């Protein structure tokens, strides 16, 4: 797993994000969008997964598309990420896109180290995850959720449940007193991932600032 760091290392706000095949241009666009919307300094640390389906999945699951199934490497990935969260004077936000967004949400059930979770177009269709949320207690007080308005309009019967699952997740979080929002973006799952992720981080950062 390759780690890339951007921004001011002395910044009080640290954004942590698992990524897939590392694309510097997408990261640069994301950072620029965050800087445009947030006046303070921040540091972004990305963790490039070598095996996306294995390293970001909380448990094993059969293939949903194609032939590749899902592993159970999320716990080890979280261990690596939390090694970057040892300074108690800093505020840490965990976020990501797609399966990385689901991973971020799952991580909030494992530790209270993250002040907010920025889950952009998370893979809420992941088998068993809705039940997991109902049976466990979230340990972060702030969660951003988003989805593209065309993501649930797919012929894949498992992935087509993503809209229903994310609505249920948002309702559950609110019912349990978690500060949360659900934002709908135009387009399918592959549209503007960088800008959607920036919007997710911006929300948790701005809400965190208002709390102070």
Domains of the chain: 2-211 (3.40.50.1820)
Bridge partners of 187, per DSSP, are none
31's CB contacts (< 8 A; 6+ apart) are: 6, 7, 44, 198
pLDDT digits (tens, 9 = 90+) for 188-208: 888 889 999 999 999 999 998
Tokens of 16: 């942590």
- The pLDDT, as a whole number, for residue 18 is 96
- Asked if pLDDT for residue 211 goes beyond 70, the answer is no
pLDDT digits (tens, 9 = 90+) for 158-189: 999 999 999 999 999 999 999 999 999 998 88
CA dist., res. 78 & res. 90, Å (int): 18
Kindly list the distances between the CA atom of residue 53 and the CA atoms of 57, 70, 99, 150, 154, in Å, as whole numbers in the listed order.
Answer: 6, 5, 8, 23, 20
- CA atoms in the 13 A half-sphere facing the CB of 129: 29
Supply the pTM of this predicted model: 0.95
pLDDT digits (tens, 9 = 90+) for 71-129: 999 999 999 999 999 999 999 999 999 999 999 999 999 999 999 999 999 999 999 99
Task: Using alpha carbons, select from 46, 45, 43, 38 the residue that is nearest to residue 12.
Answer: 43
């Amino acid at each position: 797993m390759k780690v890339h760091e951007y921004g001011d290392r002395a910044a009080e706000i640290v954004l942590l994000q698992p990524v897939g095949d590392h694309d510097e241009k997408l990261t640069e666009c994301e950072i620029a969008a965050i800087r445009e919307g947030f006046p303070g300094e921040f540091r972004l640390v990305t963790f490039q997964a070598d095996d996306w389906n294995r390293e970001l999945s909380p448990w094993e699951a059969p293939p949903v598309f194609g032939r590749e199934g899902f592993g159970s490497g999320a716990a080890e990935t979280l261990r690596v990420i939390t090694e970057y969260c040892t300074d108690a004077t800093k505020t840490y936000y965990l976020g990501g896109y797609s399966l990385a967004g689901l991973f971020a949400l799952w991580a909030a059930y494992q530790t209270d180290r993250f002040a907010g979770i920025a889950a952009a177009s998370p893979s809420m269709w992941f088998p068993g995850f809705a039940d997991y949320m109902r049976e466990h207690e979230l340990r972060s007080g702030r969660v951003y959720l988003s989805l593209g308005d065309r993501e649930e309009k797919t012929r894949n019967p498992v992935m087509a449940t993503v809209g229903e699952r994310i609505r249920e997740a948002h309702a559950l979080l609110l019912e349990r007193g978690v500060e949360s929002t659900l934002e709908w973006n135009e387009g399918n799952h592959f549209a503007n991932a960088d800008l959607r992720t920036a919007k997710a981080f911006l929300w948790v950062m701005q809400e965190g600032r208002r709390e102070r």
